[in-house]
Amino acid sequence: MLSKKLRIATVFSGIGAFEHALKKDNIPYEIVFACDNGERELSTSYEEIMNYASENNLSDEELSKYVKSLYDSTGKENRMKTSYFANYDISEDRWYEDIRFINGKKYTNKVDIFVGGSPCQSFSNMGRRKGLEDARGTLFYNYAKLIDEIKPKVFIYENVPGMLNHDGGDTWKRIKEIFINLNYKCYDAILNGIDYGIPQRRNRLFVVGFKKDRSFSFPKATKLQTTLFDYLEENAAVRHYLGQKGFEFVTNPKYRGRAVVNNEIIRTQKANQQFNWNGDFVFEEYDKIKDRVDVLKRAYVGTWNGKKGVIRQLTYRECYRLMGFDDSYDYTKVSNLWRYRQAGNSIIVNVLEAIMSEIMKVEDFNE
């Protein structure tokens, strides 16, 4: 039982899947800091920014403000930040736009759990010295460097399973060596959403590291008790219904690699889901919508599997439910495209809940 709030920090924070997992399980927590650049890019290089900071003797706070101003000058909204601030208790001074410019030393021993999952670009540049310098030039380097500086009690790292095979498996071998060289006891496993209560086939690699020597086991798989249909809204908004071209596309066996209809277990949600008829779709029989004039004006009524009806996208709320977010989550502060994109790029909350449950069994955060 926790006698204090769990101190958490996240990078590549996205829409806060880990934070939502704690909220769902009523685990008290406070956010030390969070970070996400919102899929924006700077034209100013890392070296140019650091040279400017050095020449002007910027403090950590001043550097953070300067980096934020550079991102603001792109004219693009940080939509990850917009969604994150709409749902979690965080102030501007605890939010970073770019992991590369976080000084983790100011947070040494001030974080209980550090969570993130770096993109795996540029790993082929990694050397063979088996140390942290091997990863320089990659965002994984910044993640590992922060572990080294912050020294959290526990870290959780998430990535796609393809990381295991990158560069013939050499990348993963060296990443594991870096974690171990940071003096953390590490455990890794691939976990699938369907094994933790969500009808979605979504495999992800997880690494859990402990500062102290702990005997940890990943959560055991459980039998799936639900299907897609348990997560559907009763009356979907009319905007989600397909016209004739969309109906014919998603029901064409030729395009099953892109679109499927009424699968009880959905495929992996993606950033571009529901656009260009990509992803999982729902068939509704005619009797269900025959009295909805708005739907009949918009949707194409066709035949699928010998039944008359209409087809629609998954709604925004349904996509978030299928990632483990409960209905308290507010996705409304961003545009329609980004609502789907942010759900598809997130981590299944139920998996994080299960991992956290096992961590709590072996780690004493009251120490």
CATH of the domain at 203: 3.40.50.150
CA torsion angle 173 176 182 184 (round to 10): -150
> Quick check: 29 and 50 in contact, CB under 8 A?
no
pLDDT of residue 333 exceeding 90: yes
Domain membership flag for residue 326: no
Region 181-185 average pLDDT: 95
Phi/psi of residue 267, each to 5°? -80, 180
Same domain, 211 and 241: no
Q: Give the span between the Cα atoms of 267 and 80, in whole angstroms.
A: 24
Q: Which domain holds residue 268?
A: 234-314
Residues 6+ apart with CB under 8 A from 282: 228, 232, 236, 261, 262, 311, 312, 313, 314
Same domain, 238 and 302: yes
The H or E element that residue 308 is part of is: strand 307-313
Same domain, 213 and 289: no
Domain membership flag for residue 137: yes
Q: Give the span between the Cα atoms of 155 and 112, in whole angstroms.
A: 8
pLDDT of residue 356 exceeding 70: yes
Which of 331, 333, 286 has the alpha carbon at shortest distance from 311? 286
Same domain, 212 and 122: yes
The H or E element that residue 175 is part of is: helix 170-181
The H or E element that residue 307 is part of is: strand 307-313
pLDDT of residue 19 exceeding 90: yes
Q: Which pLDDT score, from 0 to 100, does residue 127 have?
A: 52
Same domain, 206 and 351: yes
Region 268-294 average pLDDT: 95
Which is catalytic among the residues 35, 120, 186, 319?
120
Q: Is 348 helix (H, G, I), strand (E, B) or coil?
A: coil
106 pLDDT band, cuts 50/70/90, is: very high
Domain membership flag for residue 323: no
Phi/psi of residue 56, each to 5°? -105, 5
Q: Which residue has the tokens 């958490």?
A: 8
Residues 6+ apart with CB under 8 A from 344: 269, 270, 271, 272, 273, 319
Region 5-10 average pLDDT: 98
Same domain, 24 and 171: yes
Order of strands across the sheet that contains 279-285:
259-261, 279-285, 307-313, 302-304
Which of 316, 207, 318 has the alpha carbon at shortest distance from 266? 318
Domain membership flag for residue 71: no
Which of 234, 186, 189 has the alpha carbon at shortest distance from 208? 186
Same domain, 155 and 290: no
pLDDT of residue 54 exceeding 80: yes
Same domain, 205 and 354: yes
Taking CA 342 as the corner, what is the angle to CA 347 and CA 316, rounded to the nearest 5 degrees? 105
Q: Which pLDDT score, from 0 to 100, does residue 94 have?
A: 97
Same domain, 19 and 139: yes
Instruction: Provide the β-strand partners of residue 283.
Output: 311
Q: Hey, which bits of 60-202 come out as E strands?
A: 95-96, 113-116, 154-159, 185-192
CA torsion angle 117 64 329 331 (round to 10): -100
Same domain, 126 and 30: yes
Q: Give the span between the Cα atoms of 19 and 316, in whole angstroms.
A: 20
Domain membership flag for residue 166: yes
Q: Which pLDDT score, from 0 to 100, does residue 126 have?
A: 47
Domain membership flag for residue 167: yes
- Catalytic residue at 319? no
> Quick check: 318 and 231 in contact, CB under 8 A?
yes
Same domain, 146 and 199: yes
Same domain, 105 and 249: no
CA torsion angle 36 276 320 238 (round to 10): 130
Domain membership flag for residue 252: yes
Number of domains in the chain: 2
Q: How far apart are the first and last CA of the chain?
A: 12
Domain membership flag for residue 69: no
Region 77-84 average pLDDT: 98
pLDDT in tens, 196-236: 999 999 999 999 999 999 999 999 999 999 999 999 999 99
> Quick check: 313 and 334 in contact, CB under 8 A?
no
Q: Which two tokens stand for residue 250?
A: 């998603």
> Quick check: 7 and 114 in contact, CB under 8 A?
no
